């Protein structure tokens, strides 16, 4: 048997909508298989992983807390990937945003007024954007591979954070714990309700709406998609690939940085040696599951947040390692990519004799 791809004349609209759904279904099926192999009740585990986190208010709120950074980062990444710029260092930009945004509350705790928070957000976005500018500039100036550079900078950012919270930024009154001092109230985002969910939720939704408008309705959005789909046609249209690289990296870095500072000023309240459970990488999966469409990314962000909470849920109730979460996330991306093939191709299975003979049968 072999698999033959038959190219469709045009993109399948049906499959464009359906492929992420199929991918999620296949992921759940594989997860069930994994649970069963590990000797657990697959049905129960699936329920605990995918359904239970949505049944009570507390975990729903936790879902949103996790979904917000994912959506913010993934929205930015969608601009990058649509324009064929491979920023995979959002994790580093997230951390750098958090660091830049924390300069005020950590180093200038006396500057404590109504301007603190807006300035922190601004610094956070700027920090992420500038950090993302490094791979962008090296790419357009020296033709350097942006994938590798942006990824290397993740390690550098994490080490920088580690250095700061263990060294100069450590809370002097913190019993030698590697943490900064807790932020003051005016350096914290207002919360929605009384839990950990902050108004960053509104920011994520607003960003998604704005970017989807940008992509669907404006010339800039057209430019992004043209340069991604066909760089040569983009240059024929008079669009500059280099400027687009800078634009896409700055937008995605800025949003990742914003997500970073919002995480710190929202749910954490201080800097710690680790401030992200891999949001920057998981957001890559979110972006692809949302088919690089900002509105769909909101839904996708929720699905991936579910995998984090689901992992904790099966660990707490069934003793399954919460490492299962990252396995599920990895599988999901595989299935998403595989199912996207259906958008451009029809898949035909060929059985029986094939033309693999190699020699003429005289």
Partner 1 sequence: MFEAILLTVITAATPLLLAAIGELVVERSGVLNLGVEGMMIMGAVTGFAVANLTGSGTLGILGAIGAGMALSALFGFLVLVLVTNQVATGLALTLLGLGLSGLIGEAFIGVPGLKLEKLDLPFLSDLPFVGPVIFGQDPIVYMSVAIVIAVAYALARTRAGLVLRAVGDNHASAHALGLSVLKVRFLAVLFGGGCAGLAGGYMSLAYTPQWVENMTAGRGWIALALVVFASWLPWRVVIGAYLFGAVTVLTFHAQAVGAGVPSQLLSSLPYLATIVVLVLISSNRRLTLVNTPACLGKPFVPDR
Partner 2 sequence: MDSSTAAAEEGTNNAPPGGGGRRAGAEILLAARGITKRFGSIAANADVDLVINKGEIHALLGENGAGKSTLVKILYGALQPDAGSVEWQGKPVRVASPAAARSLGIGMVFQHFSLFEALSVSENIALALEKPGTMRSLGERIRAVSREYGLPLDPDALVADLPVGIRQRIEIVRCLLQAPRLIIMDEPTSVLTPQEADELFLTLKRLASEGCAVLYISHRLEEVQRICHHATILRHGKVVAECDPTLETPGSLARMMVGAEIANVAAASRPNETSPVRLSARSLSLAPATPFAVPLTGVTVEVKAGEVVAIAGVAGNGQGELFDALTGERRTAAGMVTIDGTPCGQEGITRRRQRGAAFVPEERLGHGAVPGFRLSSNILLTRHATDDGLVKGGFVAFGRIGEMEKRIKQVYDVRMSHDDPEARSLSGGNLQKFVVGREMSRNPGVLIVNQPTWGVDAGAAALIRQALVDLSRKGSAVLVISQDLDEIYEIADRIAVISRGHLSPAEPAAAMTRERIGLLMAGGAEAGTAAPAPVTAAAGGA
Q: Is 359 exposed, middle or buried (0-12, 13-18, 19+ CB in 10 A)?
A: exposed
**281 interface partner picked from partner 1, partner 2, none, CB below 5 to 8 A per type:** partner 1
Q: How far is the CB of 143 from partner 2 (least distance, A)?
A: 12
Q: How far is the CB of 67 from partner 2 (least distance, A)?
A: 30
Residues that bind partner 2 (CB under 8 A): 6, 9-11, 217-220, 222, 225-226, 229-230, 232-233, 235-238, 355-362
Q: How far is the CB of 234 from partner 2 (least distance, A)?
A: 8
Give the separation between CA 334 and CA 7, rounded to whole angstroms. Answer: 21
Alpha-carbon distances, residue 327 vs 30, 196, 290, 324 (angstroms): 10, 27, 19, 5
Contact 43, 226 (CB under 8 A): no
Question: Residue 323 or 346: which CB sits closer to partner 2?
Answer: 346
CA dihedral of 243, 244, 247, 252, whole degrees rounded to 10: -150
Closest of 96, 120, 97, 93 to residue 107, by C-alpha: 120
How many C-beta atoms lie closer than 10 Å to residue 97's C-beta?
A: 36
Q: List, in sequence order, every residue forming a beta bridge with 236; answer none if it has no partner.
A: none
Query: What is the footprint of partner 1 within residues 192-251 (CB under 8 A)?
Result: none
Number of residues in contact with partner 1 under rule CB under 8 A: 48
Q: How far is the CB of 82 from partner 2 (least distance, A)?
A: 12
User: Is there binding between residue 33 and partner 1 (CB under 8 A)?
Assistant: no
Question: Residue 120 or 149: which CB sits closer to partner 1?
Answer: 149
Question: Residue 3 or 25: which CB sits closer to partner 2?
Answer: 3
Helices 146-166 & 116-142, crossing angle to 10 degrees?
Answer: 140
User: Is there binding between residue 338 and partner 1 (CB under 8 A)?
Assistant: yes
Q: How far is the CB of 342 from partner 1 (least distance, A)?
A: 9
Query: What is the footprint of partner 1 within residues 49-108 (CB under 8 A)?
Result: 81, 86, 88
Interface stretch with partner 1, choices 47-55, 122-130, 155-163, 219-227 (CB under 8 A):
155-163
Out of 149, 244, 248, 251, which residue is the one contacting partner 1 (CB under 8 A)?
149
Draw the binding track, 285-324, toward partner 1 (x: CB under 8 A; -: no contact): x--x--------------------------------x-xx
Q: List, in sequence order, every residue forming a beta bridge with 7; answer none if it has no partner.
A: 345
Give the separation between CA 135 and CA 143, rounded to whole angstroms. Answer: 10
Interface stretch with partner 1, choices 138-146, 238-246, 262-270, 295-303 (CB under 8 A):
138-146
Give the separation between CA 259 and CA 124, rounded to whole angstroms. Answer: 8
Query: Distance from first CA to last CA of the chain, Å, rounded?
Result: 25
Give the separation between CA 319 and CA 348, rounded to whole angstroms. Answer: 42
Rg (CA), the chain: 23
Q: How far is the CB of 330 from partner 2 (least distance, A)?
A: 28
**232 interface partner picked from partner 2, partner 1, none, CB below 5 to 8 A per type:** partner 2
Q: How far is the CB of 117 from partner 1 (least distance, A)?
A: 29
Closest of 252, 249, 321 to residue 280, by C-alpha: 252
Closest of 176, 170, 199, 178 to residue 265, by C-alpha: 199
- Tokens representing 241 are 């690939």
User: Is there binding between residue 115 and partner 1 (CB under 8 A)?
Assistant: no
Out of 148, 199, 205, 214, which residue is the one contacting partner 1 (CB under 8 A)?
148
For binding to partner 1 (CB under 8 A), which residues are involved? 3-5, 7, 81, 86, 88, 138, 141-145, 147-149, 151-153, 155-156, 159-160, 162-163, 167, 281, 284-285, 288, 321, 323-331, 333-334, 337-338, 340-341, 345, 355
């Amino acid at each position: 048997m072999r698999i033959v791809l038959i190219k469709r004349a045009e993109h399948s609209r049906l499959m464009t909508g359906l492929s992420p759904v199929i991918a999620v279904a296949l992921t759940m099926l594989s997860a069930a298989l994994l649970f069963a192999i590990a000797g657990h009740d697959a049905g129960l585990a699936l329920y605990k992983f995918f359904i239970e986190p949505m049944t009570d208010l507390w975990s729903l709120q936790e879902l949103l807390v996790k979904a917000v950074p994912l959506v913010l980062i993934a929205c930015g990444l969608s601009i990058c990937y649509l324009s064929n710029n491979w920023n995979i260092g959002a994790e580093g930009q997230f951390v750098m945003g958090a660091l830049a945004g924390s300069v005020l509350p950590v180093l200038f705790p006396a500057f404590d007024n109504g301007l603190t928070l807006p300035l922190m957000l601004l610094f956070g976005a700027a920090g992420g954007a500038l950090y993302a500018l490094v791979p962008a500039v090296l790419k357009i100036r020296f033709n350097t591979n942006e994938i590798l550079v942006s990824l290397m900078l993740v390690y550098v950012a994490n080490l920088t954070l580690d250095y700061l919270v263990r060294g100069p930024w450590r809370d002097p009154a913190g019993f030698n714990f590697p943490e900064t001092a807790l932020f003051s109230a005016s350096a914290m985002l207002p919360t929605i309700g009384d839990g950990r969910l902050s108004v960053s939720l509104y920011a994520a939704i607003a960003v998604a709406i704005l970017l989807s408008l940008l992509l669907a309705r404006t010339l800039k959005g057209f430019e992004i998609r043209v340069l991604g789909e066909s760089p040569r046609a983009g240059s024929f249209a008079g669009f500059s690939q280099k400027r687009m690289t800078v634009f896409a990296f700055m937008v995605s870095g800025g949003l990742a940085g914003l997500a970073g500072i919002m995480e710190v000023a929202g749910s954490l309240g201080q800097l710690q040696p680790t401030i992200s459970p891999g949001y920057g990488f998981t957001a890559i999966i979110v972006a692809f599951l949302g088919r690089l469409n900002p509105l769909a990314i909101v839904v996708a962000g929720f699905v991936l947040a579910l995998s984090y909470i689901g992992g904790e849920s099966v660990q707490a109730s069934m003793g399954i390692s919460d490492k299962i979460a990252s396995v599920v996330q990895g599988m999901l991306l595989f299935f998403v990519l595989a199912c996207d093939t259906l958008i451009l191709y029809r898949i035909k299975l060929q059985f029986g004799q094939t033309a693999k003979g190699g020699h003429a049968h005289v």
